[in-house]
Amino acid sequence: MTAAVWWEPEASDGAARTGILHTPHGDVPTPAFMPVGTRGVVRALGSDDLEALGVDILLANTYHLMLRPGAEVVAALGGLHAMMGWTGPVLTDSGGYQVFSLDPEVSEEGVRFRSSYDGTTFGLNPEAAVAVQEALGADIAMALDVLVGLPAPRERVAAAMEQTVRWAQRSIWARRRDDRALFGIVQGGTDAELRVRSADATAALGFDGYGIGGLAVGESVAERNAAIETVVAALPAAAPRYVMGLGDTEGLFDAVARGADLFDCVIPTRLARHGKVLHPDGDYSIKLVRWAVSTEPLQQECGCTTCGRYSRGYLRHLFATREITGPRLVTIHNLHYTLTLMKTMRRAIRTGQFAATHTAMVKRRRRNRVSSGEPAAT
């Protein structure tokens, strides 16, 4: 039987690689960034906006959707794709990150937690996480894992990793839909030996792809990069590798340089709602007085609809007057910036210029940042 989701290699440049992720709702060129549609929506945008931006794949959140409106409601509306009016692929996380941020009661069976909406107690286990995601109709579902914030004692990290592996096996057994994919998650903190053990055990279960979890939770950049490199070396080369929760410019380049294929993060959209603009010279705040009479776009030669029509001065005015259009327009820019970054990396890999492109990016951002953390005004 042909897998519902599979990754086809295309080109490589060192450890960095490009390929095509085939899914039931379309193909995704990798490396790829997934905008986060937590509750079945990327905040401030509609699916038509996402199509116009050239988004290839979205991420939605199992925890939030199982609570509001509920998996049964989403299913009754035809699944996530029909509910959102979105025709492209969707990956759903298992809800593990959100649940563990609520300090749940953890047992071998699963977790019990209080809803962040109304305080009602809920339970979630590996079987339920798979069932909910299958009801949502996700192209790619994630196995439930046990997350540990860093730094943490090695014994705690090891115990969480081993429980994640046991839950991964239960997730495989719980799978009912063969027309969708299921990814396992590798844990182990920043400990190389634990990461290898986790990767080996998870890969042995035969998932369709693999998430690299437990990062961007307090470790240093060097520790994160070392963990990614260790895990990638231990995973099957033919399977997609997904670094969960990573989305800053330097982080994306670092992870792609080590062979990662998929990413998600709230950075482009969350920062936009606070007036933070992503820029190749260094990210900056549009709220500053210095932009009050600026007629320049957010970024020269950007190509997004925001930069093609609106000035920094106008956008600052929207934020100063708390107009909801301001966050929407900066969200469009920030997502365009991030998606363009991925296109740049794919092109550089195909032409054998990835290392040079990576180095040039680092130098540009370091050179143009001023002491306040803002880019030059030009």
The pair of three-digit structure tokens given for residue 43, joined into one six-digit string: 């905040």
Residue type, 11: A
Whose CA is closest to 91, among 122, 128, 124, 55? 55
Three-state secondary structure call for residue 362:
helix
Q: What angle do CA 234, 249, 275 make, to 5 degrees?
A: 140
Q: By the 8 A CB rule, do 17 and 261 touch?
A: yes
The structure tokens listed for 224 are 């994160």
Q: How many CB atoms lie within 10 A of CB 316?
A: 22
State the Rg of the chain over Cα. 20
CB–CB of 234/20 below 8 Å? Answer: no
Over the range 76-103, which residues count as b (16 or more CB within 10 Å of their CB) and which as e? eeebbbebbebebbbbbbbbbbbbbeee
- Quick check: 195 and 188 in contact, CB under 8 A? yes
**How many whole angstroms separate alpha carbon 66 and alpha carbon 104?**
16
Residue whose token pair is 């279960």: 205
Residues whose CB is less than 8 angstroms from the CB of residue 309 and which lie 6 or more positions away in sequence, other chains included: none
Residue 363 Rama label (left phi>0; alpha psi -120 to 50; beta): alpha
Known catalytic residues are 93, 264
Question: Could you give the CA distance from residue 232 to residue 212 in angstroms, rounded to a whole number?
Answer: 9
